Amino acid sequence: MTPIIAPSILASDFANLQREVEMINASQADWVHIDIMDGVFVPNLSMGLPVVEAIKRHAKKPLDIHLMIVQPEKFVEAFQKAGAASISVHVEACPHLHRNVQQIKSLGCKAGVAINPHTPVSGLSDLIQDIDLVCLMSVNPGFGGQKFIERTYDKIRELKAMIESRSAKTLIEIDGGVNQQNAKLLCDAGADVLVAGNFVFSSSNPKEVIQRLKEMR
């Protein structure tokens, strides 16, 4: 299966954001991944609604919004209006996760659930058929450029078995430390979507890097 490639705009050059988005448009990337951080759920701040709206004005690929924030239910509608095609909320931030998922779906977006490295995937078993996307964090959320956590492969296989046993259509997205060395291993384990940040944007030829990820064997 050919993976869905979602470059993470967090690693891009914010001083030239339109140029970076246009590069993604011209590449073989499928989605634009956008991390939203509030400085509470994770120890960092990123962009907010005005930046997402600006990206949407130039993006020709769907916006994949990853909310690393507390009380995401207060903001999902605003991000949908800003242009989100999919919205992922963290299981650790959602004591009423079913309600959060249904809220996102009611807005016409694909509903994603993100889980931190320490969180077991087993907690999604009762909800997996309602989830469009599970975003497995393969680094600790909050900062780019971290080392990939090897335990992720086992979590992918466990999650894939759960999805198949329930005949669900849920996609598995990997976020953090994705590169040319581990991309094929991730897909072989069952990943469907690869989020790549520094690996893409630190390259002298980001489009070529995206192409290599897309066409890996």
Catalytic-role residue among 30, 35, 38, 192: 35
Spell out the long-range contacts of 21-27 with Cβ–Cβ below 8 A and sequence spacing 24 or more: 21/55, 21/58, 21/59, 22/58, 23/206, 23/207, 24/59, 24/61, 24/210, 25/58, 25/59, 25/60, 25/61, 26/207, 27/206, 27/207, 27/210, 27/211
Q: CA 136, CA 85: separation in Å to the nearest integer?
A: 19
Catalytic-role residue among 38, 132, 175, 192: 175
- In DSSP terms, 34 is beta-bridged to 65
10 Å Cβ neighbour count for 122?
Answer: 10
Catalytic, 35? Answer yes
Nearest to 191 by CA among 172, 211, 207: 172
Catalytic, 132? Answer no
What residues act catalytically?
35, 175
